Amino acid sequence: MSGLRAVLVGAGAMGRAWGRAVNDNPDVDLVGWVDVVEERAHEAVEALAAGSVAVEGDVGAALTSLSPDFVVDVSVPEAHYEVTATCLQKAVPVLGEKPMAATMEEARQLVELSEQCSTLFVVSQNRRYNAGLAAFRELVATRLGGVGQLNAEFYRAPHFGGFREEMESPLLLDMAIHTFDAARYVTGTDALSVACSEFNPPWSWYRGAASAVAEFEMTGGLRFSYQGSWCAEGFETSWDSAWRAVGPLGSALWDGAGDPVAEVRPDGCTSPGAARVEAPAVAIPGRGIAGSLADFVRALRTGEAPMGECHDNIRSLAMVFAALESSRTGQRVAVDA
């Protein structure tokens, strides 16, 4: 079976990471690389030693000249709508980086366009492709007797430099969607409403709000709480957050790095005390963006829906924009995808 022809859009640092993932996937052939600064794309191709990869400065031109089977969109967030819409209108499937779009209205338009063109559009939530998160999800689903409360803590102190340190809401806009999306993945629920407060500690090196606290009401009565900061020195959590899930039979923990664990009492037992339960091994298609790419390729081959398909991913994006609105208005806000 020949490899699927892929065109990559964006030759920045994340674009190059995707270039390596595409190059390493035996089911994919990288045939083109697009960047508005063509020299940057030439440099990326050379660094990857990818052989005969065509370079273009325009997505439409690449679609016409290269006839790819799909496009990987790693352009800047402001360009996601234009790149994706151009591809979908030509019936070329898209695997895009988050966020889906810069606004909810643009995101809704892209979902509608995917339907109209009967063309697959997926947003890579690469942190779903983590064996620890999958094992935590399995513990929550099978050992707690249901789940009524989910907590996630994210505390890091990265000195990125560049655009993130100038954003108005860097934590919520650039990072929190990973944790919000993981909460939906772990529990199988969707957000109904949120109360959120974001702020910037006086020692922060970010111009905008680097810290946030949010409490979501989810379907089924679940409450999900998020606390995070991008200027928290010391005792840093994993990039995948630190988690606790609480149900009628016990609790499950995951530190975002090691193996999840639960303490539960046997179903039907009324006496106090709980037994420790180790996490099961769970197979995933690959870690991070490699897993996301493998899942997308499988979807193209089989027609099965992958994780991150646009109709699902927009529900995670809606959590971000609702949290932002709640923070700015001081009111609890409905989450409307």
Please state the domain extents for the chain.
Answer: 4-119, 131-282+318-334
Hey, what CATH topology would domain 131-282+318-334 get?
Dihydrodipicolinate Reductase; domain 2 (3.30.360)
Alpha helices in the chain (DSSP H): 13-24, 38-48, 59-66, 80-89, 104-116, 131-143, 170, 176-187, 288-302, 310-329
What's the Cα-to-Cα distance from 155 to each of 171, 227, 308, 335, rounded to whole Å?
Answer: 10, 8, 25, 25
Other beta carbons within 10 angstroms of residue 110's beta carbon come to: 23
CATH of 4-119, one of 3.40.718.10, 3.40.50.720, 3.40.1740.10, 3.90.226.10: 3.40.50.720
User: Which pair of structure tokens corresponds to residue 107?
Assistant: 């995101």
- Written as tens digits, the pLDDT of the chain (337 aa) is 479 999 999 999 999 999 999 999 999 999 999 999 999 999 999 999 877 899 999 999 999 999 999 999 999 999 999 999 999 999 999 999 999 999 999 999 999 999 999 999 999 999 999 999 999 999 999 999 999 999 999 999 999 988 899 999 999 999 999 999 999 999 999 999 999 999 999 999 999 999 999 999 999 999 999 999 999 999 999 999 999 999 999 999 999 999 999 999 876 555 566 789 988 888 898 999 999 999 999 999 999 999 999 999 999 999 999 999 999 999 999 999 8
Torsion of CA 155, 153, 257, 123, to 10 degrees: -90
Strands 333-334, 191-199: pairing is antiparallel
